[in-house]
Structure 1
Amino acid sequence: MPSNVSGNRDKQSWHYVLRSGLAGGVAGCVAKTAVAPLDRVKILFQTSNPDFQKYTGSWAGAFKAASQIYTDGGVRGLLQGHSATLLRVFPYAAIKFMAYDKVHYMLMPTREQETNFRRFTAGSLSGMISVLFTYPLEVIRVRMAFQTNTSSTTSSLRPSVIQAIHQISSEGAMRPSTTATTKTLFTAFPVLKFYRGFTVTLIGMVPYAGTSFLTWGFLRTRFLPPPRPGEKRPATPLADLAIGGLSGMIAQTVSYPFEIVRRRMQVGGIMRPDRWLRWGETVKAIYKSGGWKGFYVGLTIGYLKVVPMTAISYAVWEAGKRVLKV
Structure 2
Amino acid sequence: MPSPMPVSTEFYLSETPTERDRRIRDLFDTLDRNKSGHLDAEAIRKGFTQMTHLPARNKYVNELLDRCDTKHDGYVDFHEFKAYKRRRETETKRSGNSITNQGHRDGNGVIDFHEFKNFLLLLPQANMSEVYRYYQASTRLSPDAEVTIPPTDETSSHALGYLLAGGFAGACSRTCTAPFDRLKVYLITNQNSSVSLRQAITRIYQQGGWRGFFVGNGLNVMKIIPESAIKFYSYETCKRLVATTFGYDDKDSIPTTARFMAGGTAGMCAQFSIYPVETLKTRVMSLQREGKVTNSRQHSIILDTIKSMYTKGGIRAFWPGLTLGLIGVFPYQALDLGIYETLKLTYLTYMEEKTGGTNRQPSVLVLWACGMISGSIGATSVYPLNVIRTRLQAQGTPAHPVYYNSPWHAVQMTYKVGGIREFYRGLGPTLLKVVPAISISYVTYEWSKRQLDIS
Q: TM-score, normalised by structure 1?
A: 0.72
Whole-Å Cα distance in 2 between the matches of residues 4 and 23 of structure 1? 20
Whole-Å Cα distance in 2 between the matches of residues 224 and 314 of structure 1? 22
Is 1:212 equivalent to 2:336 in the alignment?
yes
* Match among 262, 285, 310 for residue 169 of structure 1: 310
Q: Deviation of residue 17 (structure 1)?
A: 3.1
Q: Which residue of 2 aligns with 1:22?
A: 164
Whole-Å Cα distance in 2 between the matches of residues 235 and 25 of structure 1? 27
Query: Relative to 1, partners in 2 of residues 1:206 and 1:157: Cα closer, same or farther, differing over 3 Å?
Result: farther
Structure 1 segments unaligned to the other structure (5+ residues): 56-60, 174-189, 226-233
Whole-Å Cα distance in 1 between the matches of residues 231 and 454 of structure 2? 19
Instruction: Tell me if structure 2 keeps the 8 A contact 1:196–1:265.
Output: yes
- Equivalenced residue count is 291
Q: Which residue of 2 aligns with 1:8?
A: 57
Q: Deviation of residue 198 (structure 1)?
A: 1.0
Flag the structure with larger Rg: 2
Instruction: Tell me if structure 1 keeps the 8 A contact 2:186–2:200.
Output: no
Q: Which residue of 1 aligns with 2:218?
A: 83
Whole-Å Cα distance in 2 between the matches of residues 5 and 247 of structure 1? 30
> 1:248 corresponds to which letter in structure 2?
G
Would you tell me which structure has more helix in proportion to its own residues?
Answer: 1
Q: Which residue of 1 aligns with 2:283?
A: 143
Whole-Å Cα distance in 2 between the matches of residues 290 and 151 of structure 1? 28
Query: Relative to 1, partners in 2 of residues 1:291 and 1:237: Cα closer, same or farther, differing over 3 Å?
Result: same
Instruction: Tell me if structure 1 keeps the 8 A contact 2:283–2:305.
Output: yes
Higher relative contact order (CA closer than 8 Å, sequence separation 6+): 1
Q: Deviation of residue 97 (structure 1)?
A: 6.0
SS in 2 for 1:270: coil
Query: Relative to 1, partners in 2 of residues 1:30 and 1:244: Cα closer, same or farther, differing over 3 Å?
Result: farther
Instruction: Tell me if structure 1 keeps the 8 A contact 2:208–2:294.
Output: no
> 1:36 corresponds to which letter in structure 2?
A
Q: Deviation of residue 33 (structure 1)?
A: 1.2
Q: Deviation of residue 136 (structure 1)?
A: 0.6
Whole-Å Cα distance in 2 between the matches of residues 277 and 312 of structure 1? 40
Moved more, 288-297 or 274-283: 274-283
Whole-Å Cα distance in 2 between the matches of residues 26 and 33 of structure 1? 11
Is 1:37 equivalent to 2:179 in the alignment?
yes
Whole-Å Cα distance in 2 between the matches of residues 128 and 80 of structure 1? 26
SS in 1 for 2:433: helix
Q: TM-score, normalised by structure 2?
A: 0.53
* Match among 242, 250, 255 for residue 369 of structure 2: 242
Is 1:268 equivalent to 2:427 in the alignment?
no
Structure 2 segments unaligned to the other structure (5+ residues): 1-44, 62-152, 244-250, 350-360
* Match among 421, 433, 441 for residue 293 of structure 1: 421
Q: Deviation of residue 44 (structure 1)?
A: 0.9
Instruction: Tell me if structure 1 keeps the 8 A contact 2:182–2:214.
Output: yes
Q: Which residue of 1 aligns with 2:267?
A: 127
